[in-house]
Chains A and B, each alone.
Chain A
Amino acid sequence: MSTTDMSLDNASSTTAAKVSPARKRPFKWSVVSDHLILIIGSLFMLMPVVAAFLTSSHDNATVHSGGLQMSIGDELAANYYNAMLVPGGFTKSVDGMRMLGNSFILGIGFAVGKIIISMLAAYAIVYFRFRFATLAFWLIFTTLLLPLEVRILPSYEIVQSLGLLNTYTGLIVPLIASATGTFFFRQFFKSIPDELIEAARIDGAGPVKFFFDILIPLSKTMIAAIFIIMFVFGWNQYLWPTMMTTDERFFTLVRGISQIMQVFIGSQIPDYGEAMALAIIAMLPPVLIVVFFQRWFVKGLVESDK
């Protein structure tokens, strides 16, 4: 009863607060300057994308002589068609669709792999007492500071000696151990009340059942958040795929774009239009993933009452 009363009170007071200042809200210059800053910021972020899109509608010669284009050209359909559906590259065996597929395999494999590995690692660190658990955690945590580039030579060496060059396994597996993910899941698991675990123990749920029946459903929002971050991160991987894949059939979109730009053979002009088209295409899935999961993420946040 008391809670409904309170929410009613709140509701009426907020509507009252909304109505009265709306009539005679004093004009504030700070509102204008706030918006100005926001608009400049947005333009700053949007202009390169707009420029890339507009440039992708011109032919290569125009772009080569005139630089980035700020008007819509007449080669839009052709550029996208060529980029996506006409096999190109040195071997003429790979088109944009194939690269798109490869990027998806890398992005999803990377994100899913990272979620599985880091959830299991965090589960062990948080819920099991074993020797040197804290040390193990700090070891994992400090590797957060080390970027992939630091260990890229040894990693390459291992993958190469296992014969995994030019395979999806070699592309994904060496990257899926994640200190960031482990850390996020650890913090999240620590926020789950102990009483829930104790109730589960009394209800006869062992470690495996607890993990699948309680922990995973409770982590849904966390999984969504990590999936967004990791998918985008994996999708944008450049250095590792560049080293790993010499076979064009395993090229990702990001890798493919750079390949197009690097064909200064004789007097050949790079396919600027196609490269821009690929760049626009490459941008779309991460944007869609973020938009799609964002809704899911917020919904989860609102409903959860842990």
Chain B
Amino acid sequence: MTKVVIDKVRKVYPNGTEALSPSSLDIAHGEFIVLVGPSGCGKSTLLRMIAGLEEITDGTISIGDRVVNDLDPAERDIAMVFQNYALYPHMSVYQNMAYGLKNRGRSKPDIETAVSKAAKLLHIEEFLHRRPSQLSGGQRQRVAMGRAIVRDPSLFLFDEPLSNLDAKLRNQMRIEIRKLQRELDVTSIYVTHDQIEAMTMADKIAVLNTGRIEQIGTPSEIYHKPASIFVASFMGAPPMNILDGKYNGNGGVEVADLGQLTIDHALKTTGKVQVGIRPENVEIRTEASQNTVAIKIDFLEELGAGRLLHTMIGSTPFIAHLDNEHPIDSDNIFAHLPPQALHLFDAETGQRV
């Protein structure tokens, strides 16, 4: 059973920049956790500290029952899949996969069994004697996975492994990695900047921003109850609509260019707030009522399964995700913002209120 405990881990680079402020994270056995955030948010730094490729400035990391702060990467019983695959170009696929085992002093027949088992699992048996340069991107990705699973580690680390693949292959590998991880039942930490990857693959997501963990939760929690304005706008495509407003204390929010919005709970804050609503929660009405605003269609984007309506509320861009069934009368439409679908954030701290 491998659980990973990250306890107040902090990273300061020698030049004084703090890449990661003290962060804690508990990962249960067999869990697939995704670290997501924009570039420079510290997600890769955290992963590399877990791998042992980066010194830990403060705090402790334990894998299983061992504190691994001072262990070499090779002693941590981990395997890592890199963004550029990092296959040894002068070795065949077989040698690439066997190299780690060889260094651990495993016997030849042992290595052969392990490699052929992993190769079979990943359907790369026919490539075993080719060089990485003779493989396509997707095949190299499989080999990189193979090199990781052949060692039977207690923890998998993925550093943006799919970002070099084309979109179709990425969708396919996403599912495959997830299936494989369930099958092998190995705790995994996956770093990506792609929020779709995070949503689709994770048991639990940790959203990072500027060296801080903003929120930890299941994909559904992250999506439906974002803890901060950053999480709200980072997760989801198209992104959440954000409007500036002011809480007037009596169950309503005053929004510029829109008027009074009713909300479904009392806020503990006073003053400026930001109001968010996901495009798919916006309803289109033909007549004004409470929580509606008259809008003008700037642009209709056809998605096949639905349509995106682009408009402006004041000077703020606003998007509504519509179904295909209802025709729209472009002269007379109103956007309805249901109170229960509104996300409210303190304008100063960015926290959910």
A binds B: yes
Number of A-B contacts (CB under 8 A): 68
A304 interface residue per 8 A CB criterion: yes
Chain A residues whose CB sits within 8 angstroms of the CB of B84 once the complex forms: 193, 195
Closest-CB distance, A176 to chain B (whole angstroms): 26
Q: How does the 8 Å CB contact mask read for A177-199 relative to B, with 1 for contact and 0 for none?
A: 00000000000000001011011
Please give me the residue from chain B that is nearest to A216 by CB atom: B90
Q: In the complex where A199-B80, A199-B82, A303-B133 touch, is A204 in contact with B100 (Cβ < 8 A)?
A: yes
Residues A193 and B86 in contact, CB atoms below 8 Å apart: yes
Query: Counting CB contacts under 8 A, is A205 at the interface?
Result: yes
- Interchain CB contact under 8 A, A196 and B88: yes
With contacts A193-B86, A204-B104 taken as known, whether A198 is within 8 angstroms of B99 at the C-beta atoms is: no
Asked if B86 contacts A198 (CB within 8 A), the reply is yes
Any chain B CB within 8 A of the CB of A67?
no
Question: Which bracket fits the contact residues of A?
Answer: 20 to 34
Q: Contact check, A202 vs B133: say whether CB atoms are below 8 A apart.
A: no
Compute how far the CA of A165 lies from the CA of B258 in the bound complex, rounded to whole angstroms: 96
Q: Taking the complex as formed, is B196 at the interface, i.e. its CB lies under 8 A from any CB of chain A? A: no
Residue pair A3, B103 in contact (C-beta under 8 Å): no
A residues 1-60 touching B (CB-CB < 8 Å): 2-3
Residues of A within 8 A of B86 (CB): 193, 195-196, 198-199
Are B83 and A203 in touch, CB under 8 angstroms?
no
Given contacts A195-B83, A305-B132, A305-B133, contact A202 B51 (CB under 8 A): yes
Contact A3 B53 (CB under 8 A): no
A217 on the interface (CB 8 Å rule)?
yes
Residue A64 is within 8 A (CB to CB) of chain B in the complex? no
Docked pose: A205 CA to B87 CA in angstroms:
14
Q: Is B74 part of the contact surface with A, judged by Cβ < 8 Å? A: yes
Residue A144, interface by CB 8 Å: no
Identity of the chain B residue whose Cβ is nearest the Cβ of A302 in the assembled complex: B133
For the complex formed, measure the closest distance between the CB of A297 and the CB atoms of chain B, giving whole angstroms: 16
Interface class of chain A by DSSP: helix
Chain B nearest CB, measured from A220 CB (Å)? 8
Contact check: which of B83, B99, B147, B166 meets A213 at CB < 8 Å?
B99
CB-contact partner of A2 in B74, B104, B133, B166, under 8 A: B166
| Given A193-B86, A305-B132, A203:B53 Cβ within 8 A | no
Q: Which listed residue, B52, B90, B103, B132, touches A203 by the CB 8 Å rule?
A: B103
**Which residues from 79 to 132 on chain B have a C-beta closer than 8 Å to any C-beta of chain A?**
79-80, 82-84, 86-91, 99-100, 103-104, 131-132
Which residues of B38-97 have CB atoms within 8 Å of chain A's CB atoms? 51-53, 72-74, 78-80, 82-84, 86-91
Q: Which residues of A contact B73 (CB under 8 A)?
A: 198, 201-202
Beyond A204-B103, A214-B88, whether A198 also contacts B136 by CB under 8 A is no
Chain B residues within an 8 Å CB radius of A92: none
Which 10 pairs from chain A and chain B are nearest by CB? A204-B74, A305-B133, A203-B100, A195-B86, A204-B103, A199-B86, A217-B90, A195-B82, A202-B73, A201-B73
Report A's interface with B, CB cutoff 8 A: 2-3, 193, 195-196, 198-205, 209, 213-214, 217-218, 220, 303-306
User: B: which residues have CB within 8 A of A?
Assistant: 51-53, 72-74, 78-80, 82-84, 86-91, 99-100, 103-104, 131-133, 136, 147, 166
